[in-house]
Structure 1
Amino acid sequence: MTLRKPPATSPAPVAPPPRWAVRTAHLTALVVLPSGLWRIALVLGHPAGYTEAGFEPFATADAKVWMPALSVLSELVALLTMGLVRPWGETVPRWIPRIGGRMVRPMAAVVPAALGAAALTLIWGTVPLWWTYPHEEMTATGNLVVGILYQPLFLWGPLTAAVTFSYYRRHRVRRPG
């Protein structure tokens, strides 16, 4: 009995993601949640740590659109990290028109995820310094609470980078030799 070699178009089997990567992907979605919930509180009319004068810009119609939109968009971007540890990160879901059912080229996932991780690290890298900046428009308690709610965002980029690296390692082409 001879073993047949799989056709060249068939992808090599990929190891399942390590448990730490799956947990890290879930954690990525959770670190975005506190700041998003805080913005939702502002939209619902709660000053959420702002003085009366400081809250005025958030009581506008524009703010009531962009703050929930930012919260939802941030959470959706964070949830994309799950694709690096789930089957839909390897095969495009069938319900997506024209490309559903196709294999995801690993670099088509790795490059945007790595660039996103780098951007998030740059954007949120100074969050631990929150309390060194003046926030006259906030109450002392509000300054403390908002600072605490935003601190998890510091981890968003590094967590995404770790899950991206795990995905890359599982999908890289191994050359014989």
Structure 2
Amino acid sequence: MTRNIRTSGALLSIAVTAVGVLWWTTPASYPFGAADRVKVSLTHLLEHDVTGPMTVAAGLVGLVVIFGRGPVVRAGAVAELLFFGVVLSDAGIMSVFAYGLAILGPVALLGVVVVAAARGKAFGLVGVATLGVLAAADTITGFGALSLVGRYLGNVASDFASFGGRLGWTLANAAACAVWAVIAAKAFRTGERPRWIRPDSARRWGRIATIGAALCPLPYALYRLTWLTPWPTDADVTGALRADTRLQGLLLAFAALAGAALTLGLISRWGEVFPRWVPIVHGRPVPVGLPVIAGGTVAGLCCLASPGLVIDSVLRGQPGALLLWPYPLWGALLAVAVLAYWLRRRAVPAGR
């Protein structure tokens, strides 16, 4: 284990210990429990006098583990992963990710169009011209598309603001889980490699996992697309939907569909070489780390959201929620698919 990893693990463990002491001794500082607005979590059932000591123990164990060797590091890293990935995790991480993607996705697309236009690419010039025509039509007709987008962004910002610092704890837990995932991966990277990780084997089982993972976000996409119809399938939605709410459903559905399409790239040619329709980088090899980091991040977020979703669906007597948001299955399948992609690409020169 490198010095940087040990340092990161030690600093994290010290911070975790301090937070645990704070929660244990100062009930008002505890962000979870019965009063927590995020109900889809295990910590919603645990108060400060339980979670506080557990967090202190996790921090102290982390300090022992990070400076240990062999079996101590492997067992301890798994224990820390279970604590941050199950006890402190909540499904709020997927809300942050989904809404962030729904906002940043169109912004990123606009940025690509503008950059392509600045470089004289046909794709960018056509895109900018199209945006100009739509803006002119919006002004002439008085449809108010720009104000619609503004209301949508305002709604999302208001939702995030209403949760205050609670989502900060969600992100902090995800960061701690990521650090221990790296430590665990380093600790288990020893011994002889089995046959199943060979590229030819990875191609076979990876294809099955990838197709399964691509199917997982489709129920949610269809669910949000119903917001464009007179019959929105959402128990929280009553009466006629405003235009900005329909736009929100469309963007969330688009994010889910885009995720499914990108997942299939793990077994497609365009997942190894940028296709011709991609501006600027078309024809170049796809860096191995790009799909691995992106797909691995989503897989990790799904796994973090899984315990809370399962617990909430059981307590509410609504197991159907696991069909709409199949995070446990999605996270596992996507992790396997990303692993297979990495095993294949690392052994074969990019673009071949």
TM over 0.5: yes
Shift of 1:18: 2.0
Aligned pair 1:168/2:339, yes or no? no
My pick for the range that moved more, 65-74 or 108-117, is: 108-117
Q: After TM superposition, what 4+ stretches of structure 1 lie above 6 angstroms from structure 2?
A: none
Aligned to 2:241: 59
TM-score scaled by structure 1? 0.69
Q: Which amino acid aligns with 1:33?
A: L
Aligned pairs for 1:122-141 (under 5 A) are 122-132=304-314
TM-score scaled by structure 2? 0.38
Shift of 1:157: 2.0
Q: Which amino acid aligns with 2:310?
A: P
Q: Which amino acid aligns with 1:39?
A: R
Q: Which amino acid aligns with 2:242?
A: T
| Rg larger for | 2
Aligned pairs for 1:75-94 (under 5 A) are 75-94=257-276
Shift of 1:17: 5.5
Contact 1:117/1:161 (CA < 8 Å) preserved in 2?
A: yes
Paired with 2:255 and 2:339, the residues of 1 have a C-alpha distance of: 23
Aligned pairs for 1:10-159 (under 5 A) are 18-48=203-233, 50=235, 54-56=236-238, 59-132=241-314, 145=320, 147-159=321-333
Aligned to 2:151: none
Paired with 2:219 and 2:257, the residues of 1 have a C-alpha distance of: 10
Shift of 1:149: 3.5
In structure 2, the CA distance between the partners of 1:163 and 1:57, relative to structure 1 (3 Å rule), is farther
Paired with 1:69 and 1:34, the residues of 2 have a C-alpha distance of: 15
Q: Which amino acid aligns with 1:100?
A: H
Quick one: percent identity of the two aligned structures? 27
Question: Which one has the bigger helix percentage?
Answer: 2
In structure 2, the CA distance between the partners of 1:167 and 1:58, relative to structure 1 (3 Å rule), is farther
Shift of 1:161: 0.9
Aligned to 2:66: none
Paired with 1:18 and 1:169, the residues of 2 have a C-alpha distance of: 9
Shift of 1:23: 2.3
Shift of 1:173: 5.1
Paired with 1:106 and 1:118, the residues of 2 have a C-alpha distance of: 18
